[in-house]
Amino acid sequence: MTTLELTTLAQSGAEALAPITLYHYLFVSAVMFAIGVIGFLSRRNMIIMFLCTEIMFQAAGLALIAFSRLHFNHSGDVFVIIVLTVAAAEAALALGLVVYLFRRKGSLDALQWAQLSG
C-alpha cells in the first residue's frame, strides 16, 4: 500500500509537524460516526437521538470532503453541500415531528412509540 500525503498549507510552513494524511480525516470521521451510532442506539430521548443522526451525517460529510480533496475534484464537496441543505430542511421537519409527538404523549421517550409491534 502506498501512502498518499495531502499537500496542505501547513506543510510548507511547518516541516516539523507530522503530515496530516487521509487516514487522520477518516479516523476522525469514523469516530464521529461511532459516537453517533452509539448515541442513537443507547439514548431514548428523541432529540438526542436526532442529534446523533446529525453527528453521523457530519461524519459522512467529513469523509466525503477528505476524499474530494484527495481526488482533487469537487463532487464530494458538492455532495456535502447538498447533504447539509437537506439536513437543514430535515432538521426543521424532524424537530416539528418531535414537538408533535411530545404534545401527544407528553414525553420524549422513544419507547412510548411502539405501535408497530407485530
Interacting span for other proteins (CB under 8 A) from 2-10, 36-44, 61-69, 81-89: 36-44
3-state helix, strand, coil in the chain (%, to 5): 75, 0, 25
Size of the site for other proteins (CB under 8 A): 13
- For 100, the enclosing helix (H) or strand (E) is helix 75-105
| Cβ atoms of 52 and 43 closer than 8 Å | yes
Instruction: Tell whether residue 111 is a contact of other proteins (CB under 8 A).
Output: yes
Q: Grid coordinates standing for 109?
A: 421517550
Among 3, 12, 103, 118, binds other proteins (CB under 8 A): 118
Binding of residue 41 to other proteins (CB under 8 A): yes
Instruction: Quote the CA–CA distance of 51 and 38 in Å, as a whole number.
Output: 12
Which lies closer to other proteins via its Cβ, residue 18 or residue 111?
Answer: 111
Contacting other proteins (CB under 8 A), which of 19, 40, 68, 70? Answer: 40
What cell was used for 106? 407528553
Q: Contact positions toward other proteins, by CB under 8 A?
A: 37, 40-41, 44, 49, 110-111, 113-118
